[in-house]
Structure 1
Amino acid sequence: MVILHVLFYIFAAVTFVQLFYYGFIFSNVKQKKHTSTPSQTLPVSVIVCAKNEAKNLTQFLPYILDQDYPEFEVVLINDSSNDSTLRVMEKFKASYSNIKIVNVKNIEAFWGNKKYALTLGIKAATHNRLLFTDADCQPVSRRWISEMTNHLDAQHQLVLGYGAYAKVKNSVLNKLIRYETFMTAVQYFSYAKLGNPYMGVGRNMAYTKELFFEARGFMDHMNVKSGDDDLFVNQIGNSKNTTMCLSKDSFTESIPKKTYGDWIIQKRRHVSTAKHYKLKHKAALGLFFISQLLFFILGLILISTAFYWQIVVGLIAARYLAFFINLTLVAKKLNEKDLIPLFPLLEIFLIVTQFSIFIKNLVSRPSRWK
């Protein structure tokens, strides 16, 4: 009985922690309307780093080149590909005068390091305003460049965007991948809105060349082969220089992994990068996951024993009320409404997956970026 009392009080505590996250922190995915001015149509360099991406460039590069923006260049970085990526780039360049190719060859000091390739591409960029995406990404509208870079101004030099994954009908894996991507965005948008940005995604991010060199580029984490996006934001982002873009015309859409195993490999790399975040960010993210895990474990124990079951049910109901209210609002903003009915199941699947990834990363090191 004493043990059950202890478990009950712990359960109550973690439920209030969950209410704090879902009821307050995650209620901050919102943005005031941003009005364009003539100064916000300055030229932009779109940066695309590609390694063995010939097929994806052929399919998705036209959507970038077809953007409705007065002046932009596309910097294509061939990161030591061993397929026909360079030939595809050269073929596009023959038809478009605003393409610049940076052909990166591996050197011993930076073998296989995407950050080295990106640094060369950024140095080659003509313009100060930089917009980043991946070779397998498609802007969802012709206003992608204008919507994202519209938020770059004298105060904000770093813009976090949403990089969605394409919807696949009747696929449980697709919904799990998209839910994980959605929840990651909920967190990094919320923290950015609260003035404490900790990450962004390279599939859709903008910052200035000036900010990049003020931060000494990727030098502070060049030894970490992954994290050209989240570690950079974690290093340089703050309440003054960082903002976000939630316009649906600003989203990009990528091809999701087709097998659970491939997705797990990808997520293991991402999770391993998070250990290099600032301590305050690791503590906040860790507290959320631990409280989430304990909420389900202790909730099941207390419900099965019928210990103070009325109070336990009330706490569970309060937590799910905050969960549904705020996540539903964000899902509508991020165009992920079809996930809403599946939130409870997807949450459990994701917790189990994240816990298994954590265990696997303790046992062995995940493979790196391509």
Structure 2
Amino acid sequence: METYIKEASFLLFQFCFIIQLYYLINNYSRLAGYKPLEDLLPVNIPISVIISARNEAKNLQHYLPFILEQNYPDYEVVVINDCSHDSSDTVLEVFQEMYPHLKVVTITEHDRFKTGKKFALTLGIKAAKNEHLLFTDADCMPGSVNWITRMASNFTTPAQIVLGYAPYNRSKSFLNALIRFEAVKAAVNYFSAALNGDPYMGVGRNLAYTKTLFFSAKGFASHMHLMAGDDDLFVNQHATEDNTTIELHPEAFTYTDAKTNLSSWYKQKKRHFGVGKYYKNEHRRMLSIDAASGYLFYVLLIICLIFSFEPMLVLGIFIFRLILQIVIYSKTFKKLEANDLLWYLPGLDFCYYIYINTFGLLATFIKTTQWK
């Protein structure tokens, strides 16, 4: 019986290894070879930058000038002050006097009707005067004064959705490394999927789409009851091979600080993971198989080593996968400004698959009722 268990574990370990190879070679290698356009194309498409902000006075004061002072000829910035009870209104009033292209939409708290981010964004989209919309958050800083230009240049193609990248700032802690690694892995997944003609998500910290697409799709109506999903669910439902493109030039990144403690990170991830079960079936399967095979790969690796069942072969398979990861990830992580994480790849990859399966399970049972 014991021999049977060992053999079954080894066979399953090899099967998970093959699945992981498929994801690495078939899904991720194309992103490794992708080269963003270096030339800064002249573009003059009117753009509306939209930011939903709840109690973000400090962040607005610090980051909003970098958005209001972009090197772009024709744009407005629409900030939705969503039921804030800090000094956001005062900060925005001061900025409105300084920047005529800043528009403020104010939502006041209602005792019976509690609003979420999707409601705020919908009002901001309705208030926007331009067809092409660019979204970010109040705590995000553009990578350059050419952020809008880089993102807007993609609308010169037939694209209606532009997926941008929003990395977390680096700091010296394990939690920061894990959060950044998870964000990079997510980006590798959704950028690779888009390049392979099957886009399935984007992040609201750096995302663009057209007003026509938003209203023709009836906005967030199909998932308005969910606190999250204003970005990834919208993209999942409406992105296609023909209407979606990506922008990966460093000047088009938007940066934000990662959570610094476990409780705030848990609250954020609980909200994010809760919408995954509403993805299209094929996308749920794709993500679930990757998550499950990666988790089982490490669990079965440990089991095989503990029971000394073909230990040299098991270690050889592990090392081969690791080398292949480094070869493919080295180019990809460099594009995503995360080269430093490669030094800790085995540990981070192991923790990533443990945590992503744990959060995925918790999200099945936990309901989130607040967006901020």
Give TM-score, length-normalised by structure 2.
0.94
Q: Which moved more, 1:314-323 or 1:277-286?
A: 314-323
Rate the CA distance shift 1:32–1:62 in 2: closer, same or farther, 3 A. closer
Q: Distance in 2 between matches of 1:308 and 1:176?
A: 31
- Rounded Cα–Cα distance in structure 2 between residues aligned with 1:82 and 1:333: 39
3-state secondary structure, aligned to 2:331: helix
Q: Residues 282-311 of structure 1: CA distance to partner in whole angstroms, max 9, x if unpaired?
A: 100000000001100111111222222333
Q: After the TM superposition, which residues 1-370 of structure 1 pair with which residues of structure 2 at under 5 Å, given as runs?
A: 1-29=3-31, 30-31=34-35, 33=37, 40-106=43-109, 111-168=114-171, 170-370=172-372
Which whole-Å CA distance do the structure 2 matches of 1:198 and 1:210 have between them? 20
1:303-358 residue CA offsets vs partner (Å, 9 max, x unmatched): 22222233322321221122111111111001111111011111222223223323
Between the aligned partners of 1:275 and 1:31, the Cα distance in structure 2 is 32
- Offset, 1:34: 7.5
Greater mean deviation of Cα atoms: 341-350 or 275-284: 341-350
Quick one: distance in 1 between partners of 2:258 and 2:328?
25
Distance (whole Å) between structure 2 residues aligned to residue 352 and residue 46 of structure 1: 37
Give the secondary structure class of the aligned counterpart of 2:133. strand
Asked whether the equivalents of residues 34 and 151 of structure 1 are also in contact (C-alpha less than 8 Å), the reply is no
TM-score computed with the length of structure 1 as normaliser:
0.95
| Deviation larger for 52-61 or 301-310 | 301-310
Q: Secondary structure at the match of 1:41?
A: coil
Letter of the aligned partner of 1:215 in structure 2?
Answer: A
Q: Equivalents in 2 of 1:76, 1:282: separation in Å?
A: 33
Query: What SS is found at the alignment partner of 1:28?
Result: helix
How many residues get paired? Answer: 368
- Structure 2 distance, partners of 1:283, 1:152, is 31
CA distance 1:108–1:209, shift in 2 (3 Å): farther
Name the SS for the 2:275 alignment partner: helix
Instruction: Spell out, residue by residue over 1:153-204, the C-alpha distance to the aligned partner (whole angstroms, 9 max, x if none).
Output: 3411100011111111x21111111111111111111111111111100000
Q: Partner of 1:81: helix, strand, or coil?
A: coil
CA separation in 2, counterparts of 1:185 and 1:6? 34
Q: Which runs of 5+ in 1 are unaligned?
A: none
Measured after TM superposition, the shift of residue 110 of structure 1 is: 5.7
- State, as a whole percentage, how many aligned pairs show the same letter: 41
Displacement of 1:365 in angstroms is: 2.7
Query: For residues 109 and 213 of structure 1, do their structure 2 counterparts lie closer, same or farther at Cα, with a shift above 3 Å needed?
Result: farther
In structure 2, runs of 5+ residues without a counterpart are none
Q: 2:80 aligns to what SS in structure 1? A: strand
2:227·2:271 contact (CA, 8 Å) conserved in 1?
no
Q: Is the 8 A contact 1:4 1:307 kept in 2?
A: yes
Q: Give the whole-Å Cα distance in 2 for the aligned partners of 1:92 and 1:32.
A: 34
3-state SS of paired residue (2:278): coil
What amino acid maps onto 1:47 in structure 2?
I
**How far, CA to CA, are the matches of 2:365 and 2:67 in structure 1?**
41
**After the TM superposition, which of the residue ranges 352-361 and 236-245 deviates more from structure 2?**
352-361
Residue 37 (structure 1) shift? 5.7
Secondary structure (helix, strand or coil) at the match of 1:100 reads: strand
Q: Secondary structure at the match of 2:303?
A: helix
The answer to whether the 8 A contact 2:37-2:249 is kept is: no
Query: In structure 2, what is the Cα distance between the partners aligned to 1:286 and 1:133?
Result: 28
The 3 A distance-change label for structure 1 pair 24 and 113 is same
- For 2:326 and 2:354, the matched residues in 1 are separated by 20
Specify whether residues 86 and 26 from structure 1 end up closer, same or farther in structure 2 by C-alpha distance, changes over 3 A only: same
